Structure 1
Amino acid sequence: MLPAADQAALQVVDAQYGGILSRSASVLVVCRQWTRRAGTVSAGGTTVDVRLSRSASGWTVDALHPAHPGPAARSLAPDVRSVLSDDRIVLPPAAAADLRSGQVHTSVARAMLALARTYRLEVSVVRSGHPLDVFGTSRPSDHPRGRAFDVWRIDGHAVVDPATSRALIERFMRDAAAAGSYNVGGPVPLSGGGAGQFFSDATHHDHVHLGFRT
């Protein structure tokens, strides 16, 4: 975030939990950045997994883990190309780079496209910039394996905003399951679906998580 440039400007798009426990937390800070070098402005950005610990005096930042999406692939699956060109799917820099890297499963792309037929979805995290394990466990997260994505805003309404309709979020979560997600998390506890298909906890009060088996 400190580039070798004449000028730089940074926008925090979203900050969501990657995990929250009583004495430790992961906050995923999604950023866009613009730099000026010799009169030329370039756009970029990243997502940073900020790790914090809690003591009697408050929360302290312990570590920063920026996203590493990897280089762009020479060729991409048609569904991935469609996601990258769909203006109803808003991708921050690291998430777009994840898709361009070819390391995201087509199940993710197909679900994004299916949901975009009904909603305008703003994605926060896809693969990189997310904890490797489900926070506080040794269980691998679906995100680093390219089998998950998070949505922080639906049709212009932030998931974390108390004014956002719970009915909208519930409908989106159920449509996410219908689009193929086996593991849908969000702020609304839902019944139905397969065993463990829906869940809600403190980590997911500010976004909707969609996980996929393949």
Structure 2
Amino acid sequence: MQPQVKLRAVRLIEALGTWPLGGQGVEAARKRAADAGYDPALADQAGALLGSAPEAALQVLEAQYGGILSDSASVLVVCRQYTPGNDSGGTTVDVRLSAASPQWNVTALHPAVPGPPAASLTSAARAVLADAEAVTLPPAAHADVLSGNVHDSALNGMLTLARSYRIMLSVVRSGHPIDVFGTTRPSDHPQGRAFDVWTIDGQAVVDPATPRSLVESFMRAAAAAGSYNVGGPYLLSGSGNQFFSDDTHHDHVHVGFDY
């Protein structure tokens, strides 16, 4: 909807999460932020992005809206971070922005905090983690499932959809706004009852070349899998408020559960 807003968020996360040999630490991160044209104090909110590794490279996997209004936005920057001996790092950062000219200002960072791995997992959680080809989880979402804090309703929804589609998830529980953006209504994500899908069968939801029929069929399949609240780029007919569409959901499909 406003790609320059996403770009503004992404450039900061790239600057904070990538450093040359010897460039670790908050002070160095503050300088990188300032050099990139951002408030250096934002580095203090970077959390797990600023590890102790001597060097790091960050790859942004996807940037989706957590919310977009006329004067404010939440951009969820999903990333993988590579450090010596570790290619499985990364997180999701909820980047908050406010409208300004000539470009929007980044006002706050909220990195994902998935929690520690659970001592034991349900069979649904184990099945999702074992099916990496059909259900692709970025680092923070993977950690969410490992934490045991994702409800089986959402996990079984993923598994059901994976029988017919290859899906890439962006956000599950952590790294998402606590409330539906711009409201005081709690989001289903932090409660472990929702997940967002940004790629279906290798085709990005936001890509104009992705067939509308593919996205619509996936949204209806999500509803059939038990989701009471399916959002996406198209408003579909259905019972009650089962389907919805708004500016925030033009780049992904939201699949939410109420139990």
Asked if 1:185 is matched to 2:231, the reply is: yes
What letter matches 2:212 in structure 1?
R
SS of residue matched to 1:29: strand
Could you tell me which amino acid in structure 1 is paired with residue 94 of structure 2? D
Report the CA distance between 1:42 and its aligned residue. 4.4
Q: Deviations over 1:130-155 (max 9, x none)?
A: 00000000000000000000000000
Query: 1:41: how far off?
Result: 3.3
Gaps of 5+ in 1: none
Question: What is the one-letter code of the residue matched to 2:82?
Answer: W
Which runs of structure 2 are paired with 1:106-117 in the superposition (5 Å)?
Answer: 106-117=152-163
Counterpart of 2:102 in structure 1 is 57
Distance in 2, Cα, partners of 1:124 & 1:56: 30
Alpha-carbon distance in structure 1 between the residues aligned to 2:98 and 2:81 = 27
Q: Distance in 2 between matches of 1:99 and 1:2?
A: 23
Question: Corresponding residue for 1:9?
Answer: 57
Report the structure, 1 or 2, having the larger helix content: 2
1:153 counterpart SS class: strand
Q: TM-score, normalised by structure 1?
A: 0.96
Aligned counterparts, 1:152-163, within 5 A? 152-163=198-209
Q: Equivalents in 1 of 2:66, 2:86: separation in Å?
A: 31
1:200, 1:6 → 2: CA distance? Answer: 44
Q: 2:129 corresponds to which residue?
A: 84
SS in 2 for 1:4: coil
Deviations 1:80-126 (A, max 9, x none): 10000102100000001001101110001100000000000000000
CA distance in 2, matches of 1:58, 1:7: 30
Bigger relative contact order, structure 1 or 2 (CA pairs below 8 A, ≥6 apart): 1
- Measured after TM superposition, the shift of residue 2 of structure 1 is 2.7
1:40-51 to 2 correspondence within 5 Å?
40-51=85-96
Cα RMSD after superposing both structures: 0.9
Q: Which amino acid aligns with 2:125?
A: V
**Higher-Rg member (1/2):** 2
Q: Secondary structure at the match of 2:99?
A: strand
Give identity over the alignment, percent. 68
In the alignment, what sits opposite 1:23?
Answer: 71
1:33 aligns with 2:81: yes
More deviation in 113-122 or 41-50? Answer: 41-50
- Cα offsets for 1:172-207 (capped at 9, x unmatched): 000000000000000011012x20000010000000
CA–CA separation in structure 2 for the residues paired with 1:62 and 1:79: 38
Which of 223, 240, 247 is residue 195 of structure 1 equivalent to?
A: 240
AA aligned opposite 1:4: S
Q: Which amino acid aligns with 2:62?
A: D
5+ residue gaps in structure 2?
1-48
SS at the partner of 1:204? Answer: helix
Q: Distance in 1 between matches of 2:201 and 2:137?
A: 14
